[in-house]
Structure 1
């Protein structure tokens, strides 16, 4: 048993502070039994990372970011990419140490303690649950654009926007979430195969966009590059980071990966390289094809660029069709990640046991998937996309910061651990990752911060009202809870 053992002896009750700081041992985590099946290869995991990332924002985020930064939005993408790259290296090391489900939540439990892990779990609800809703809202814009291109008629406005936008409910977004929930219930391998196909379609569609957009590339569009100064570039990068949400979805599949100590770090690095190349090509060609002022308020922006550039409807229809098909995978992957995080938190006693119930027939957490689907559908149907963007970014950046900090803590506390991958340039790399995340966090609006503080206050209440008493690290708790099979 390591010095990070799971519980104090019954005759040595922990103080309140030590309870908050208690950690799970890596040896116990590795030995923990799970009913989830190891079916995912490096290819599946890479597709999971690319599928959960490409589409989270690149199809929609330019409408928010380009007016903020001007042509310098290209640098905003690069700044977000550097931040994502630094944190991906940290994720890769942590995944090679503890290849389990739960992503940064699990890593925080190993390195930073139970209370911090609980808070990180709530960060991840913002990252995965809210991003699923945001992507579903953006998907509905492309669906409407496709319907207009094919039929000449739009979806009724009342059924295409949240009440804040003058509508009743965003029905297409709700339907998308329901379809993803059904697929996730059917099984992880089926979901992974569908996702892999959609990733191929998605990348092909974006390459098609680049090929058409460069025909109208105008260098003059990059004039006055820092139109709103470096502060505009930084603020846009804070929102653009939304486009990298889902990269860490690979780390939520640790219990379902084959040879996870090798396949997970590889998949994280492969995903980052593919995503960054695609984003830089799309952002450069988009700014080259259209003045940055025209992005403001655009719906289904990439399709609109092609329609304006070519004067024909068919390129926009192709891109909208590709987006409608492929962005499906983003919602799918983000919802997958959310259910696995709840699953792991439930196993640890910090969430109710309903989240650990696994169907005997499908091998998936059906009840958890239904609950997550209902939560995401509610957000997607009722909230506007800009609110969802920033809420997702603040959750993801906070979680990414915790992973980089965890790398440093475990290097100090447990230098003996076997690491299948080590962060190059330690300790500079994780420190830079933390600094980069904090910089992007500083660019988010005051309203977002107020909402975030309120969200974390709720997390604290839940921990002291439920999680602390039900934690499996309590002296009288069973040592290794097994998921319920139903």
Structure 2
């Protein structure tokens, strides 16, 4: 039976011990790693997307999305402390629910990482184009700074940064924990400065009406589903379990600590943006609701600018910098653009590295061809799969809007979180005696809340984003039954799967995050 192909937890742990990674990360590094992975395009860019859907009600959206992530994080913490190995949700699912579902989760994670890298590339493009325009007066033509959805031809800066990061990964350039910490500090400093400037200038009337579009898909609920992307990254801490000192204690601290810090930041940033310049959605000439990322919204925003009016928050491609500039703090807006320009490429790099890691672990289990993880003799990197992934990431970034990309990425992420929450419950029933260094509190309440939250947010995504997951999943099933089912190590009775010889060459100084 397919569902009977379970890789025993003891075998997974034995595999990890056979050639374990160097354990060097403590709780502070893990928390910084989580904060660095979480704070990215989500808060820097999707604030505009949230404004168009929910208006000031986006603050409730941040709370909803943060709550779903919190209960999912508690489920992640239990499994990560029990199974401190690489592979994240894919490995956990393999141990609990079998190979087929593990494949589906791994395949969904591929969607999450790759599309998220595209979304961050588009977010970086918006900030860097604004920074070039306002500081050195270099105007990137509209046709080359936007995809077809916004009246352009191709988003060239997004495409360039995606391919540049791909090239860096191919030749073996990786980040050190120290560089990662510096970049986290830059992002946190930029957001702190934003809060210091905007919070004292909040005007109460900017919060009315609070929910102009209601609570549905184009409203607070839909905004929560979209800006869920702003929190994604905390699960990357669990992929670092194999490289963590005392993972039973430190992984939960890193997961929950980074999530808590980011939630507080997001609420303060959202409040500052709304209170300073307002965040009401842009409507059509007849008062109709316009969808974020649509050509209709882009055309309406262009009309507003041509009339001499101030560009609304919902129209901005550099949301936080835009708020500061409108408020008269140009220098702070430039710093925000610079912070995004410096920090977001590191997020793209970590996402793309996370993609190669998932491919590596799946190839290690025989579910993907070993050829995909071929190591370059000079660069010591999986250059083939890195190049293929980078090309797809660059193409998506060149032609699609950031909101659409974030929604598609969310569909894969929500599926993975759903499976982890289910795995915790199943493992509590099937293996109750196993040592659990961290136990999810009130698991029979927390895990179902996570499951319901993930399903709810999935159905609040736009229709096209919802449909990508089953189509992508169908493609994955074809590949699995054509190749993975026959070549699987577990299916062939090879339980103790050795680590790839070059894995030590693949791992960076900090674990893959996204």
> Please, what TM-score do these two structures have when normalized by structure 1?
0.90
1:206 aligned onto 2:223? no
Corresponding residue for 1:27?
A: 10
Q: CA deviation at 1:156?
A: 2.6
Q: CA deviation at 1:474?
A: 1.8
Corresponding residue for 1:5?
A: none
Q: CA deviation at 1:97?
A: 0.9
Q: Which moved more, 1:333-342 or 1:386-395?
A: 333-342
Corresponding residue for 1:286?
A: 273
Q: CA deviation at 1:295?
A: 2.4
1:374-389 equivalence runs, <5 A: 374-389=391-406
SS at match of 1:227: coil
The 1:229/1:309 distance shift into structure 2, 3 A limit, reads same
1:94-123 CA distance string (max 9 Å, x none): 100111111111111111111111111121
Corresponding residue for 2:388?
A: 371
Take 1:213 and 1:128, find their aligned partners in 2: how far apart are those partners? 33
Q: CA deviation at 1:186?
A: 6.5
Corresponding residue for 2:463?
A: 446
> What is the number of equivalent residue pairs in this alignment?
468
Q: Which moved more, 1:466-475 or 1:88-97?
A: 466-475
1:295 aligned onto 2:286? no
Q: CA deviation at 1:438?
A: 1.3
Equivalent in 46, 57, 76 of residue 42 of structure 2 = 57
Q: Which moved more, 1:150-159 or 1:362-371?
A: 362-371
8 Å CA contact 1:344–1:356 kept in 2: the answer is no
1:165-214 CA distance string (max 9 Å, x none): 44443232233234433554576973433222111100100111111112
Take 1:373 and 1:421, find their aligned partners in 2: how far apart are those partners? 37
8 Å CA contact 1:99–1:254 kept in 2: the answer is yes
The 1:323/1:429 distance shift into structure 2, 3 A limit, reads same
Take 2:249 and 2:363, find their aligned partners in 1: how far apart are those partners? 27
Take 1:261 and 1:358, find their aligned partners in 2: how far apart are those partners? 32
SS at match of 1:190: coil
1:121-140 equivalence runs, <5 A: 121-140=106-125
Query: What are the ranges of 5 or more consecutive residues in structure 1 without an aligned counterpart?
Result: 1-17
Corresponding residue for 1:192?
A: 177
The 1:172/1:305 distance shift into structure 2, 3 A limit, reads same
SS at match of 2:45: coil
Take 2:8 and 2:388, find their aligned partners in 1: how far apart are those partners? 30
Take 2:499 and 2:53, find their aligned partners in 1: how far apart are those partners? 49
The 1:435/1:255 distance shift into structure 2, 3 A limit, reads same
Equivalent in 330, 334, 344 of residue 347 of structure 2 = 330
Corresponding residue for 2:508?
A: none
1:248 aligned onto 2:235? yes
1:467 aligned onto 2:450? no
1:217-264 CA distance string (max 9 Å, x none): 101111222222222211110111011111111122233333333332
Equivalent in 423, 436, 447 of residue 430 of structure 1 = 447
The 1:34/1:382 distance shift into structure 2, 3 A limit, reads farther
Corresponding residue for 2:284?
A: none
Q: CA deviation at 1:362?
A: 7.1
Corresponding residue for 1:12?
A: none
Take 2:355 and 2:22, find their aligned partners in 1: how far apart are those partners? 18
Take 1:48 and 1:208, find their aligned partners in 2: how far apart are those partners? 21
8 Å CA contact 1:253–1:340 kept in 2: the answer is no
1:88 aligned onto 2:106? no
Take 1:164 and 1:114, find their aligned partners in 2: how far apart are those partners? 39
8 Å CA contact 1:150–1:317 kept in 2: the answer is yes
SS at match of 2:338: helix
The 1:71/1:163 distance shift into structure 2, 3 A limit, reads closer
Take 2:99 and 2:171, find their aligned partners in 1: how far apart are those partners? 32
Q: Which moved more, 1:128-137 or 1:375-384?
A: 375-384
8 Å CA contact 2:14–2:496 kept in 1: the answer is no
1:364-396 CA distance string (max 9 Å, x none): 545443333333223222322222011011111
Take 1:41 and 1:57, find their aligned partners in 2: how far apart are those partners? 26
Q: CA deviation at 1:424?
A: 0.9
The 1:477/1:30 distance shift into structure 2, 3 A limit, reads closer
Corresponding residue for 1:116?
A: 101
Take 2:73 and 2:325, find their aligned partners in 1: how far apart are those partners? 36
Q: CA RMSD in A?
A: 2.2
Take 1:221 and 1:144, find their aligned partners in 2: how far apart are those partners? 28
Take 1:307 and 1:316, find their aligned partners in 2: how far apart are those partners? 5
Q: CA deviation at 1:34?
A: 4.4
SS at match of 1:59: helix
Corresponding residue for 1:273?
A: 260
8 Å CA contact 2:89–2:416 kept in 1: the answer is yes
